[in-house]
Structure 1
Amino acid sequence: MRRIEPAIPDALPVPAPAMPSEEEQRRQAELERELQMARDIQQGLLLAAVPQLRGWEMSAVSSPARDLGGDLYDFLDLGDHSQAIMIGDVSGKGLAAALRMAVARTVFRHKARLCLSPGPTLAEVNREVCTDIPQGMITMLYAVLDTAQGKIQMANAGHTYAVLFNTEAREIELPGLPLGVDSDSDYEEDGVIIPEGDSMLLYTDGVTEAISPDEEEFGFERLQLLLQTHSHFKPRALMKLLLRELRSWSQSTEQSDDITIVILRRRLTSLGAELRSIVNDVLGDEKSEPFWLEYVIPLLGDRPEDALYDAWSAILPDLTKSARASLGRGMARELGQQLRLVAEEYRPL
């Protein structure tokens, strides 16, 4: 008798994935809470609030590639019109990098208050890092801004160069080993004047190394072109544009590195010129000229510069009302907020 073989199914049944136990779910929820707490601590304590400086505009953002980032920025008021600005990038990612970042920021703050000058400060921070953070290195750019004179003095420990820009963008090249490599490293200093209306960009390499779906980096040339083309943008608007361009470049590609950006701009001395630049920035070239001629000039008249602040404060409500009628509520609100903020910068001392 012929033996009949049992039929073989086309595919073996795939067992359903095991549901996580109640204990595993509890642990996962606890881990999420701890990570969120760590993120809140990092954002609240380790990334300083952007200072309000008379005659200057600033914007800063840090976007980690993971839950916890290794990038950092900091601001310190050193007194006598001196403002410390620091940006850094700790090697690695995740919790280990975040912890090293916290230590580096603590050391920096202590040394910056003692040394004041960027070169010696970085040398002191480096010696501490070599001792206290033996694993991993840190790049750091430290600048001291004289807000009255417009001069910025810098030293660089292996970080991406600062970029000074208006219609042209150029890097401020400064050599220097990253922190944590050689405890005897010294750091050169260089100083530049930021002219009125010009801006400076400090950033981490996550910006230029952002990867497209075709595995091409964003690169410095694209960044340079963006800065030159949109140099009339104020820091906050430029920050939004740059982040949008990076998202568009990367598309669905996962962010591979932390991205941190600091932008500062020196305001124009003339309130009238600064107000005109605000109108141009918010409305764009096409709408700003007609709005300025139709609404601003008739209200301001030919008042001299020293009487402009009081006059501007008086006409701002009427100007905002006119903007709402001609531009729409949203754009009028944005324009009014920007004009009010900039006018306060020029309040007589």
Structure 2
Amino acid sequence: MGSSWTRPPKLAAQAAPALRVAQLVREQEAEVRARERLEQELRLAHLIQQQFLPRKVPDLPGWQVAAFYRPARQVGGDFYDFIDLADGQIGLVVGDVTGHGVPAALVMATTRSAIRSEAPRLVAPGAVLARVNELLHGDMPSNMFVTCLFALLDPVRGRLRFANAGHDLPYVRRAAGVVELRATGMPLGIMADSRYAEAETVLAPGEGLLLHSDGLAEAHAPDHAMFGFPRLRDEMGRHQGGQPLIDGLLEALDRFTGPGWAQEDDITLVTLTRSARSEPREIASFAVPSRAGNERVVMDRVAEAITAAGIDMPGLARIKTAVSEAAMNAIEHGNRFSEDVPVGVQVLATDDEVLVRITDSGGDRAMPEPSQPDLEAKLAGKEKPRGWGLFLIKNMVDDMNVRTDGPQRVIELVARRKGGHDGDSGRAS
């Protein structure tokens, strides 16, 4: 037989719909499997991220601390952290990994672990970021990097030292308005030898700090307008710190985007606000002649005033030592042992602190910086055995301030009523 058999046209026409249906079924099954894989990946990414976020915010006496994190549908690489460090300091971390899903979550986990490992050893924010960048650079997936801000907070003094690896600028709300905190540096994982400049500021009582990722500022309204950093900054100025600030920012976002908004990126907010200091009340005021030995009189009377006021001061022994040294400094260097020139003493208390102000007549003479003495030089006789006073004072109390008021000089010693220097880290457990 020389000819091949062909399907009758009528039979082929009848089979075509069935073949098309089978093809559609296969395509739908493939789509279902792809969606299931995506959902599984999103669940895994979310699980990884949740495992590496803090369970709670730290309890810092004298501070309001709050944090908020909400992942986008695809789960980005946002993270934040609080790290206990030496001398009662706390490390603050906020970062953002490019990309979404499991790859971003894994890089986030690696970065967070590296910071936690290096921060206690290196402490300095610039050094910590430089080291973490070295660790990430060789293994960072292509087209990925990490923006990150690492800050070091001394909660007793309110001092904040920070470095920034290409992350969104933090804001501080002051009495005069909201300001940006600037420090420069490349994102982590891009260049092997990146260095990170440090900057420092002080948060006064009543002032607040906001760390954030770009998920809120870059949210879009239905008309494609962006929420924007200026709006974020303005909203911060309208709200007190802590949870009220976070609630206010999220309410502003809801008003801007309207109902039915699909969140495009993770949103992370961390805020710390230093409690406003209550007005100090005077609990003692007296004066003593500038005579050697009267430093002990000042020390004893200050301690008696604190005790009589019913103030619980676990570090009273250290305060007494600091007061004695400050009074001796005023008697000897400020008033030059002139017994007719008194040393004034004022003891005040707030809800959080005790303040001791010691006044002498040395306002026209510069006061040296309380630098650390050279112990070996003093023991070897190369330096005078004295000169420990200011260094000792500064390390016995939570803060020491010196100011001049015309001919007078005032040394103010500040001691927190709980925590602080008396063997306490200054941070609640």
Q: How far apart in 1 are the matches of 2:28 and 2:218? A: 41
1:175-214 Cα distance to aligned partner (Å, 9 max, x none): 1111111111100000100010110111111121111111
Pick the aligned partner of 2:56 from 49, 57, 65: 49
Q: Does 2:232 align with 1:236?
A: no
1:309-337 Cα distance to aligned partner (Å, 9 max, x none): 9xxxxxxxxxxxxxxxxxxxxxxxxxxxx
| Cα RMSD after superposing both structures | 3.5
Q: How far off its partner does 1:44 sit?
A: 3.5
Matching of residues 1-80 of structure 1 within 5 Å:
35-36=42-43, 38-47=45-54, 49-80=56-87
1:187 corresponds to which letter in structure 2?
Answer: Y
Q: Could you state the TM-score of these two structures normalised by the residue count of structure 2?
A: 0.56
The 3-state SS of whatever aligns with 1:51 is coil
The 3-state SS of whatever aligns with 2:58 is coil
The number of aligned residues is 270
Q: How far apart in 2 are the matches of 1:117 and 1:201? A: 20
Q: Could you state the TM-score of these two structures normalised by the residue count of structure 1?
A: 0.68
On the 8 A contact 2:311/2:417 being kept in 1, the answer is no
Q: How far off its partner does 1:131 sit?
A: 1.4
Q: How far off its partner does 1:344 sit?
A: 11
Pick the aligned partner of 1:262 from 267, 270, 280: 270
Pick the aligned partner of 1:145 from 147, 153, 160: 153
For structure 1, the 5+ residue unaligned runs are 1-11, 274-305, 310-342
Q: Does 2:123 align with 1:116?
A: yes
Q: How far apart in 2 are the matches of 1:158 and 1:34? A: 28
1:39-79 Cα distance to aligned partner (Å, 9 max, x none): 24422333453111111111111112125331010110003
Q: How far apart in 2 are the matches of 1:240 and 1:30? A: 35
Q: How far off its partner does 1:245 sit?
A: 1.4
On the 8 A contact 1:271/1:308 being kept in 2, the answer is no
The 3-state SS of whatever aligns with 1:207 is helix
On the 8 A contact 1:47/1:72 being kept in 2, the answer is no
Pick the aligned partner of 1:184 from 193, 197, 201: 193
1:160 corresponds to:
168
Q: Does 2:126 align with 1:82?
A: no
Q: How far off its partner does 1:36 sit?
A: 3.9
Rate the CA distance shift 1:347–1:40 in 2: closer, same or farther, 3 A. Answer: farther
Q: How far off its partner does 1:27 sit?
A: 9.7
Q: How far off its partner does 1:159 sit?
A: 0.5
1:300 corresponds to:
none
Matching of residues 294-313 of structure 1 within 5 Å:
none
Q: How far apart in 2 are the matches of 1:45 and 1:181? A: 23
On the 8 A contact 2:173/2:179 being kept in 1, the answer is yes
Rate the CA distance shift 1:179–1:41 in 2: closer, same or farther, 3 A. Answer: closer
On the 8 A contact 2:75/2:100 being kept in 1, the answer is yes
Rate the CA distance shift 1:21–1:44 in 2: closer, same or farther, 3 A. Answer: same
The 3-state SS of whatever aligns with 2:164 is strand
Higher strand proportion (structure 1 or 2): 2
Q: How far off its partner does 1:37 sit?
A: 5.6
The 3-state SS of whatever aligns with 1:132 is coil
Q: How far off its partner does 1:35 sit?
A: 4.6
Runs of 4+ aligned residues of structure 1 deviating over 2 Å after TM superposition are: 17-42, 44-49, 66-69, 268-273, 306-309, 343-349
Q: How far apart in 1 are the matches of 2:168 and 2:194? A: 18
Rate the CA distance shift 1:32–1:121 in 2: closer, same or farther, 3 A. Answer: same
Identity %: 38
Rate the CA distance shift 1:253–1:126 in 2: closer, same or farther, 3 A. Answer: same
Q: Does 2:124 align with 1:94?
A: no
